[in-house]
C-alpha cells in the first residue's frame, strides 16, 4: 500500500510512522499520558485498515486527518490538540515556500501526482518538466495573489475546479478553431518570417504543421483545423503536375500527339503520391513535434465533405480524407518498429447524406472510417443531421469536445472584428474563434451538502453556480487588456485575428465571438444521492437530471444577457479531476455506497460505466442530455475488438447519424514490447495500487508497453491516475 506525500512523491505506507507521530504528541506533556502504547498501536492498525478499504492511494493529509479522528475517538483530546497544533505549525513553515519541494520532486521524476496528471505528457522529459515547473509557479502566484480567497478554497475543497491554474498567471486562453484557410490563402508570419501562399498541396501541409505547432505553444487547450482548407491546393498541384507531365510527354513524343487519357492517368497517379506525402507530413509532424509545453500538439482534424464549395473541391477533399483514414488505419511505428495507435491528431468524420448509406457517393469513405475506428479508435463522428437540428450549423469542436456557440455576431451586423482576410459578409463564421476558459461545478458535492433536502439543494446549487460565475469572470478579466503582441501567430497573423500590433484583444471577448464555459461533473452521482435511483430511471431520475441540466443552461443565458459574453454549458472531460473530486468527496462526506465509493466520479451526463445498457439505448438516452450541453459534450459506447465485425460498427455509425450529434466508439489498441503481445493490456491490483500488466508475459513496466485508451474525448497513451484507471477497469461493454 502506498501514500502520496505533499511533494507528490509516492512512498510505501508505514504504520510505524503513524504510531511514532501519535507517541510524540502523547508524550509532549508534563502531565499524565492519555494513551497507552497498546492504544496507539490499535489506532495505527485501524488507520491502516481504513486506508486499505478505500482501495486507492491516500495523501498524507488524508492520513493525518484519520489520525486526528481516531485519537479523539479514544477520548485523548489534549493529545489530539497537540497533534493538530503540530500540523498547523508545519503548515506555516511550508507556506513560507510553497513551490520548492514540488519542483524538486518534478526534476527527480518522483512526483507521482504529476506523473499521472496528463496521459499524453511524459514527466521524465526535460521539456515537460520545464512546463510543469512553470506551472507550479503559476499555480502558486494564482492561489496567493491573482484569485479571490474563496474561489481558491472552493477549488482546494473540490467544490469547484478552476481549470488550468498552471497557465492562469499568463494571459492565455483555452482552445480554438484555427482559421487555416486565411493563413494559407493570404499568407502569415511565423517567427518573424513571411510565409506566402503555397504553390502545392505538400507545401500547404508542411506550412499547416508549422502553424499547428505555433498555435499550440501560445494557448493551453485543443485546436482544430479543417481538411477543407487544404483541398484547394490539390487542384493547384494537379495543374502543376499536368504542366510537368506535358513537358515530359512532348520531350518523348516528337510528333506532338497527346493522348489525354494517358496524360490524365499519369497526373492523377502523381497527384495521389503528393497527397500521400502531404498527409504523411501532417501525421508524422504532429506526432513527433514537441511544443513548448512538452507534448505533441493537441490537434483535431475535421473531415466534412459538406464544407466544399464546388463538386471538384468535394472530390479533392474526398481524396485527402481517404488518404488520412488510410494512414491512420496503418498507425505509426513505436521505438521498436511495431505499428501502434497514436494519440494525435484526433480525427472527426461528419456523417451526412452523401456518405451515410450504401449506394451514396462517398459510402466507401464511411466504410474506411469504420475500419479505422475498429482498429485505431478514431475517427469520432458528428451527425450533420442532428447538428443542424441542434445548432443550425455544422462545424467542428475545439479539441476533444468544446463547441462554440452558433455565430450571432454576424447576424447582429458586428462585422469583421477580427480583420480576417477571408471574411464573407453575411456568412456565419467559426474559424478564428476561441474559448476563454473553464470552471467546473462538482454536482455531487452540491447534492451531498444538501443532505437530500430538495429546497436546500437548489439554494446551494445557485450559490455554487454564482461562485463559478465569479471564477469565470476572473478568467475573462485576466484576458481583457491582453495585447495582440502577446501571441502574434494568434492575434496578428491570422490564426484567430489580424489585429494591429499593440491592440488589445478585448473586442473578441464579447458579442459571441468567443465563448466561456461552465463545466459540470457527476450528474449521475448527484441524481443517485438525491433520488435514490440512476438518472436513467424514467420516473424520478431522468426528470430531475434534466431539470438540473436546464437550470445550468438558464444560468448561462442569464449571465450572457447581463454581460454580452457567451457563457455555455460544457460537459467537462475530467481527466485527472475525476480522481481529485472523488478524493475530496470522500474526505468531506465519507464513503456513501453508489455515490462516493469509487476513486472517480462520472464524466458530465454520462451513464455510469458499470451500468448495463446496450449501445443504441445508451446513445439514444444521452442524446437528450447532449442537446442540453451546448458548450461541449461527447458520448461513447464501449465495444470489444470489432475488426472482424465492420457491419456492426457501421450500424452504430448510422444510428449516430439519426439520433445524436457527436459520438465515438471505444475499443482497445495495445502492444507489449517485451513479448510482442498485440491485444488488450489488463489492469490488475498490486499492493493496493492498480497497475497495467501484459496478460501473456506479465510485464508491468509501463515504459515497455503501448496502451491507448480514450479517457475523456481524446486518446491517452502515457497512463492515468488511480481514479481514471479504476474507471477504465470497471467499464462494461455496450455491444
**Is the CB of residue 205 less than 8 Å from the CB of residue 279?**
yes
Q: Give CA–CA dist 281/209, Å, rounded.
A: 8
> By three-state DSSP, how is residue 725 classified?
helix
**Is the CB of residue 705 less than 8 Å from the CB of residue 692?**
yes
Task: Tell me the three-class secondary structure of 643-711, residue by residue.
Answer: CCCHHHHHHHHHHHHHHCCEEEEECCEEEECCCCCCCCCEEEEECCEEEEECCCCCCCCHHHEEEEEEC
Q: Give CA–CA dist 279/327, Å, rounded.
A: 8
Catalytic residue among 174, 449, 669, 721: 174
Catalytic residue among 398, 549, 556, 672: 398
Q: Give CA–CA dist 237/241, Å, rounded.
A: 6
Query: Cα angle at 80 between 74 and 83, to 5 degrees?
Result: 140
- Write out the three cell numbers for 500: 494591429
**Is the CB of residue 388 less than 8 Å from the CB of residue 161?**
no
Catalytic residue at 435? yes
Q: Give CA–CA dist 121/246, Å, rounded.
A: 50
Q: Give CA–CA dist 111/92, Å, rounded.
A: 22
Catalytic residue at 549? no
Q: Give CA–CA dist 675/724, Å, rounded.
A: 26
Catalytic residue among 165, 183, 372, 400: 400
Q: Give CA–CA dist 515/480, Å, rounded.
A: 14
Strand-pair category, 188-190 with 193-195: antiparallel
**Is the CB of residue 282 less than 8 Å from the CB of residue 208?**
yes
Query: Cis link prior to 345 (omega < 30° from 0)?
Result: yes
Catalytic residue at 713? yes
Catalytic residue among 278, 713, 716, 723: 713
Catalytic residue at 395? no
**Is the CB of residue 585 less than 8 Å from the CB of residue 596?**
yes
Residue 672's nearest CA partner among 661, 680, 662 is 680
Q: What is the CA radius of gyration of the chain?
A: 27
Strand-pairing partners, residue 442, are 521
Separation of CA 560 from chain center = 25
Catalytic residue among 115, 165, 172, 175: 175
Query: Cα angle at 664 between 662 and 666, to 5 degrees?
Result: 160
Residues 6+ apart with CB under 8 A from 587: 62, 65, 158
Catalytic residue among 381, 570, 605, 714: 570
Q: Give CA–CA dist 539/546, Å, rounded.
A: 12
**CA atoms lying within 13 Å on the CB side of residue 454:** 7
Catalytic residue among 402, 442, 635, 669: 402
Residues 6+ apart with CB under 8 A from 69: none
Catalytic residue at 419? no
Residues 6+ apart with CB under 8 A from 558: none
- Write out the three cell numbers for 637: 459506447
Q: Quickly tell me which residue has 517485451 as its cell.
A: 674
Catalytic residue among 435, 604, 629, 635: 435
**Is the CB of residue 707 less than 8 Å from the CB of residue 670?**
yes
Q: How many CB atoms lie within 10 A of CB 52?
A: 13
Q: Give CA–CA dist 62/3, Å, rounded.
A: 9
Q: Give CA–CA dist 728/81, Å, rounded.
A: 42
Catalytic residue at 402? yes
Strand-pairing partners, residue 566, are 515
Catalytic residue at 355? no
Tell me the backbone φ, ψ of residue 162, rounded to 5 degrees.
Answer: -90, 100
**Is the CB of residue 599 less than 8 Å from the CB of residue 583?**
yes
User: Is the dihedral angle over the CA atoms 214, 216, 217, 218 positive or is it negative?
Assistant: positive
Catalytic residue among 62, 112, 575, 622: 575
H or E element, residue 3:
strand 2-4
Residue 441's nearest CA partner among 457, 464, 466 is 464
- Where in the sequence numbering do the catalytic residues fall? 174-175, 398, 400, 402, 435, 570, 575, 713
Amino acid at each position: 500500500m502506498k501514500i502520496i506525500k505533499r511533494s507528490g512523491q509516492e512512498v510505501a505506507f508505514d504504520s510505524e510512522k503513524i504510531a511514532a507521530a501519535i507517541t510524540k504528541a502523547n508524550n509532549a506533556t508534563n502531565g499524565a499520558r492519555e494513551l497507552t502504547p497498546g492504544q496507539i498501536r490499535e489506532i495505527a492498525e485501524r488507520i491502516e485498515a481504513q486506508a486499505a478499504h478505500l482501495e486507492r492511494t491516500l495523501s498524507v493529509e488524508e492520513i493525518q486527518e484519520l489520525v486526528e479522528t481516531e485519537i479523539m475517538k479514544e477520548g485523548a483530546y489534549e493529545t489530539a490538540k497537540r497533534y493538530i497544533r503540530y500540523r498547523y505549525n508545519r503548515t506555516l513553515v511550508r507556506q513560507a515556500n510553497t513551490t520548492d519541494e514540488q519542483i524538486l520532486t518534478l526534476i527527480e521524476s518522483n512526483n507521482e501526482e504529476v506523473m499521472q496528471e496528463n496521459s499524453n505528457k511524459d514527466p521524465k522529459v526535460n521539456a515537460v518538466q520545464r512546463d510543469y515547473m512553470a506551472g507550479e509557479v503559476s499555480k502558486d502566484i494564482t492561489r496567493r495573489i491573482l484569485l479571490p480567497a474563496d474561489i481558491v478554497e472552493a477549488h482546494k475543497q473540490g467544490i469547484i475546479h478552476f481549470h488550468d491554474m498552471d497557465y492562469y498567471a499568463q494571459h492565455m486562453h483555452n482552445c480554438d478553431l484555427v482559421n487555416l484557410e486565411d493563413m494559407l490563402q493570404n499568407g502569415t508570419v511565423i517567427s518573424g518570417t513571411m510565409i506566402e501562399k503555397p504553390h502545392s498541396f505538400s507545401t500547404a501541409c508542411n506550412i499547416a504543421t508549422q502553424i499547428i505547432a505555433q498555435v499550440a505553444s501560445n494557448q493551453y487547450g485543443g485546436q482544430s483545423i479543417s481538411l477543407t482548407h487544404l483541398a484547394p491546393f490539390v487542384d493547384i498541384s494537379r495543374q502543376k503536375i499536368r504542366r510537368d507531365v506535358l513537358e515530359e510527354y512532348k520531350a518523348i513524343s516528337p510528333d506532338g500527339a497527346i493522348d489525354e487519357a494517358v496524360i490524365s492517368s499519369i497526373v492523377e497517379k502523381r497527384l495521389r503520391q503528393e497527397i500521400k506525402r502531404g498527409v504523411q507530413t501532417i501525421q508524422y509532424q504532429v506526432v513527433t513535434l514537441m511544443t513548448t509545453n512538452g507534448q505533441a500538439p493537441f490537434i483535431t482534424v475535421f473531415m466534412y465533405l459538406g464544407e466544399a464549395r464546388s463538386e471538384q473541391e468535394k472530390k479533392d477533399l474526398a481524396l485527402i480524407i481517404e488518404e488520412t483514414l488510410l494512414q491512420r488505419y496503418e498507425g505509426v511505428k513505436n521505438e521498436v518498429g511495431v505499428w501502434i495507435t497514436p494519440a494525435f491528431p484526433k480525427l472527426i468524420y461528419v456523417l451526412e447524406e452523401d456518405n451515410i448509406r450504401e449506394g451514396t457517393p462517398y459510402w466507401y469513405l464511411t466504410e474506411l472510417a469504420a475500419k479505422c475506428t475498429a482498429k485505431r479508435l478514431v475517427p469520432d463522428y458528428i451527425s450533420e443531421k442532428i447538428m443542424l437540428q441542434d445548432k443550425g450549423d455544422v462545424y467542428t469542436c475545439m479539441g476533444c469536445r468544446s463547441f462554440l456557440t452558433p455565430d450571432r455576431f454576424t447576424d447582429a451586423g458586428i462585422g469583421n472584428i477580427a480583420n480576417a482576410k477571408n471574411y464573407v459578409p453575411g456568412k456565419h463564421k467559426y474559424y478564428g474563434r476561441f474559448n476563454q476558459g473553464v470552471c467546473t461545478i462538482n454536482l455531487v458535492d452540491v447534492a451531498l451538502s444538501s443532505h437530500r433536502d430538495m429546497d436546500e439543494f437548489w439554494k446551494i446549487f445557485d450559490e455554487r453556480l454564482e461562485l463559478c460565475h465569479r471564477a469565470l469572470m476572473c478568467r475573462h478579466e485576466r484576458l481583457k487588456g491582453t495585447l495582440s503582441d502577446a501571441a502574434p501567430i494568434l492575434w496578428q497573423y491570422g490564426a484567430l485575428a489580424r489585429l494591429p500590433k499593440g491592440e488589445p484583444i478585448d473586442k473578441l471577448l464579447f458579442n459571441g465571438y468567443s465563448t466561456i464555459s461552465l463545466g459540470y461533473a457527476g450528474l449521475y452521482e448527484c441524481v443517485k444521492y438525491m433520488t435514490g435511483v440512476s438518472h436513467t430511471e424514467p420516473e424520478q431520475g431522468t426528470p430531475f437530471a434534466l431539470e438540473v441540466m436546464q437550470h445550468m443552461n438558464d444560468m448561462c443565458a442569464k449571465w450572457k444577457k447581463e454581460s454580452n459574453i457567451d457563457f455555455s454549458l460544457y460537459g467537462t472531460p475530467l481527466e485527472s479531476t475525476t480522481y481529485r473530486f472523488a478524493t475530496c468527496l470522500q474526505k468531506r462526506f465519507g464513503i456513501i455506497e453508489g455515490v462516493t465509493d469509487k476513486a472517480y466520479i462520472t464524466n458530465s451526463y454520462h451513464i455510469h460505466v458499470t451500468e448495463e445498457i446496450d449501445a443504441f439505448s445508451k446513445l439514444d438516452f444521452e442524446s437528450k442530455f447532449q442537446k442540453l450541453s451546448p458548450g461541449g459534450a461527447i458520448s461513447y459506447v464501449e465495444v470489444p475488438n470489432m475488426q472482424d465485425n465492420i457491419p456492426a460498427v457501421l450500424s452504430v455509425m448510422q444510428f449516430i447519424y439519426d439520433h445524436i450529434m457527436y459520438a465515438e466508439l471505444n475499443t482497445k489498441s495495445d502492444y507489449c514490447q517485451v513479448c510482442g503481445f498485440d491485444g488488450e493490456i489488463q489492469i490488475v491490483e498490486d499492493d493496493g495500487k492498480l497497475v497495467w500488466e501484459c496478460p501473456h508475459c506479465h510485464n508491468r513496466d509501463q515504459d515497455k508497453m503501448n496502451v491507448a485508451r480514450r479517457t475523456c474525448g481524446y486518446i491517452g497513451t502515457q497512463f492515468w491516475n488511480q481514479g481514471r484507471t479504476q474507471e477504465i477497469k470497471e467499464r462494461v461493454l455496450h455491444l
